[in-house]
Amino acid sequence: QPRMYFGYAVIGVSCLAFFVEMQVAGWKFAPLKQNPTIGPGHDVLVKVGAKDTFKIADNGEAWRIFTPTVLHAGFVHLIFNMGFLYMVGQEMETTHGWKRFATIYILSGVVATLSSALFLPDLTMVGSSGAIFGLVGARWGDLIQNWDVLLRPWAELAAMSAMTLLNYGMGLLPFIDNFAHTGGLVMGFLTGLVLLPQRRLGRSGRPRPMTRKQAALSHAGAALALVLLVLGLTGLYSGADLRLLCPGCLELSCPSGLGWWDCSPCGRTGFQYTLYTNGTFFLTCPITERVLAGALGDGAAAEETGAGYFLSYCKENC
């Protein structure tokens, strides 16, 4: 009887990683305004391996391309993802084997991180959501490749549509990224075309060769998956910033207009400032750590204004 092995390993490692996160945080949770998934703050997530575009590209911390897939923003995020992984992954791994399942999962997770780094370089991202979305994408590929073989293809189509929308809704939370979801979905779809075609049995009981349609889709999927991976790595290390193509990209991943939480790097990651009695101050921007100097002219008034003034200053100038 086929069983799920790789999926259980991912669940175990992810739970252990969250335990480590909370240990590093001293079992202190960030305010819900910053992290509504009930978890640690930004600094802890970065310390344990969250996606940080500048650390990957400029500091040579390439391991951060992989580590976000086992980290989670909070308890709610972890439970949701692990439950979803079990629901989607069990059938796929037991049907197609752990090697194909692991290949789709890992490649989707890598492309998810690259997609997030290119479209939202200032955004800290963690979570196996991108890799799990790759499994959803692979099931889309499976659906297209094997429509004639499936017993209830329309029911499968409805289920896949619901899963996709649900995950995009989850991507509106802080530290979770819909661009990572999209990158994982596309890579999973392409690798699913390659690895998941099912062949009908002939009269002899042996599998028939793939149909022309299946073979064409498989070859196209392999070529496009390779191109996607190469373009992602090239863009990351060449300093490409795709925000220029999509100025409002952040709103697709963390909409500030809702007012439920602060989506700006200044509000989510925190910042440091030093205020002197003569009204001058130095403020260190989050993520880039760029230091800004300014003057208020009245130190007493600045103290009364408090951190709210500097939060606004950070959002406007960092």
pLDDT tens string 38-88: 999 888 998 999 998 889 988 889 999 999 999 999 999 999 999 989 988
| Over residues 158-167, mean pLDDT | 81
In which band, very low, low, confident or very high, does the pLDDT at 296 lie, cut at 50, 70 and 90? confident
Contact yes or no for 242/258 (Cβ under 8 A):
no
Q: If you average pLDDT over residues 268-287, what whole number do you get?
A: 76
Q: Where do the structural domains in the chain lie, given as residue ranges? A: 5-253, 265-317
Q: Bigger pLDDT: 162 or 24?
A: 24
Helix (H) or strand (E) holding 274: strand 272-275
Query: Does the structure show a pLDDT above 60 at 305?
Result: no
Angle between helices 98-119 and 212-237 (to 10 degrees): 40
> Range with the lowest mean pLDDT among 10-14, 80-84, 101-105, 147-151?
147-151
Query: In the prediction, which pLDDT does 297 show?
Result: 54
**Percentage, residues of the chain above pLDDT 90:** 36
At residue 314, the pLDDT reads: 81
d(CA 156, CA 183): 22
Q: What are phi and psi of 203, to 5 degrees?
A: -65, -30
pLDDT band at 269 (very low <50, low <70, confident <90, very high): low
Count of CB atoms situated within 10 Å of the CB of 15: 14
CATH 1.20.1540.10 fits 5-253, yes or no: yes
241: left (phi over 0), alpha (psi -120 to 50) or beta: beta
Average pLDDT, the chain: 83
Please check the confidence at residue 119 and state whether its pLDDT lies above 80. yes
Is residue 117 predicted with pLDDT exceeding 80?
Answer: yes
Region 170-198: mean pLDDT is 85
267 closest CA partner among 278, 259, 277, 276 = 259
List, in sequence order, the alpha helices (H) in the chain. Answer: 6-24, 42-48, 53-57, 75-96, 98-119, 129-145, 153-170, 178-195, 212-237, 249-253, 265-269, 299-305, 307-317
Q: What is the pLDDT of residue 198?
A: 63
pLDDT at 244 over 90: no
Catalytic residues: 129, 181
Tell me how far apart the alpha carbons of residues 199 and 181 are, in angstroms, rounded to a whole number.
30
Does the pLDDT at position 218 exceed 60? yes
